[in-house]
């Protein structure tokens, strides 16, 4: 995704509130290379336990619905984090969404029917995602599924698989197609009079298809390595803990006291763009040490690290947004 990569590079070069510590990045690259060589770290694979998978078109529909709703799982101050009981476990965050949707697909709810999505109400979605605590932006989530249903009916015979097939086996084209046809995936911001592109959820959709279908069928993309890291709130939290991302004292204080950052604000754009560019530089450092990883593989490693308490010592930034 050259447009995303170029956006990230440009913002990193012009940032005022966020900077990259290149010495810390090089040190982390050496540590990562050593741990990968020793087998202490492995690239995560698809989690079939929490994701619906029948190997067919319903799986494609499941992933499209999943990534349409894959955003904003943190709880507002004073509220309980949203959790879902699935298979005897209390899941939170992204896996709560994956499990809740898997439960719905297994129960036979027609989430793979574009007509059903086009008229799904907020009340019905709330029942479908039933759990404890508060999941933010529920009205927006229902609206996004309505948008998805209408787009599939109007352009792709009502089938998610047809949308994926329209990309011709190219991940970058799928991202651009989804961004073009579904405004809720149009993850862009204005920064210093330039349009900055992130396309986080659209890129995750391509990566999820590739992983879930093991690079075959609807997951066969000849250019999967062109995708960038997915700019969210967990990766910068990890990179900050590692000392790779450095915030200005004022910005660090705002994040540490859980003050929300406005979506599209300079500080939010700088955090996300520097995260993507840090992963690009990390990939280059690892390549120099003989470890060739894709940006999305590094993303998965960092995201997995972010689930450990060690990397939650400082809070992640908080932005109410549909994009991550």
Residues classed as catalytic:
232
- Closest to 95 (Cα-Cα) out of 276, 279, 306: 306
CB 37 within 8 A of CB 293: no
283, containing H or E segment: helix 266-288
Burial class (CB in 10 A: 0-12, 13-18, 19+), 171: buried
First CA to last CA across the chain, in angstroms?
18
Distance CA 317, CA 236 (A): 8
CB 129 within 8 A of CB 135: yes
Classified as helix, coil or strand, 175 is helix
- In DSSP notation, 199-233 reads -HHHHHHHHHHHHHTTTSGGG--TTGGG------S
- Closest to 204 (Cα-Cα) out of 286, 40, 94, 42: 94
Classified as helix, coil or strand, 18 is strand
What Cα–Cα distance (Å) separates residue 9 from each residue in 3, 137, 197? 10, 31, 11
Token pair recorded at residue 104: 């719905």
Distance CA 95, CA 51 (A): 8
């Amino acid at each position: 995704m050259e447009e995303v990569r170029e956006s990230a590079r440009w913002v990193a070069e012009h940032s005022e509130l966020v900077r990259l510590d290149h010495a810390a990045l090089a040190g982390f690259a050496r540590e990562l290379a050593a741990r990968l060589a020793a087998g202490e770290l492995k690239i995560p694979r698809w989690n079939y336990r929490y994701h619906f998978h029948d190997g067919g078109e319903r799986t494609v529909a499941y992933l499209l619905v999943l990534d349409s709703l894959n955003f904003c799982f943190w709880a507002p101050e004073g509220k309980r984090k949203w959790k879902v009981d699935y298979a005897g476990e209390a899941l939170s965050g992204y896996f709560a969404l994956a499990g809740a949707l898997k439960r719905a697909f297994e129960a036979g709810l027609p989430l793979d029917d574009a007509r059903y999505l086009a008229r799904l109400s907020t009340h019905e979605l709330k029942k479908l995602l039933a759990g404890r605590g508060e999941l933010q932006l529920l009205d927006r989530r229902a609206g996004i599924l309505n948008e998805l249903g209408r787009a599939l009916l109007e352009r792709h015979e009502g089938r998610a698989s047809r949308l994926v097939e329209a990309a011709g086996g190219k991940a970058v084209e799928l991202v651009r197609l989804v961004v073009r046809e579904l405004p809720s995936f149009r993850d862009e911001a204005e920064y210093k009079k330039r349009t900055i592109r992130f396309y986080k959820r659209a890129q995750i959709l391509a990566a999820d298809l590739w992983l879930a279908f093991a690079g075959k069928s609807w997951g066969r993309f000849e250019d999967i390595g062109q995708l960038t890291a997915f700019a969210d709130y967990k990766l910068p939290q990890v990179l900050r803990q590692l000392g790779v991302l450095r915030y200005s004292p004022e910005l660090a204080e705002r994040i540490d006291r859980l003050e929300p950052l406005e979506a599209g604000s300079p500080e939010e754009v700088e955090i996300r763009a520097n995260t993507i560019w840090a992963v690009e530089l990390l990939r280059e450092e690892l390549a120099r040490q003989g470890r060739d990883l894709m940006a999305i593989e590094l993303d998965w490693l960092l995201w997995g690290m972010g689930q450990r308490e060690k990397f939650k010592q400082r809070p992640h930034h908080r932005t109410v947004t549909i994009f991550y």
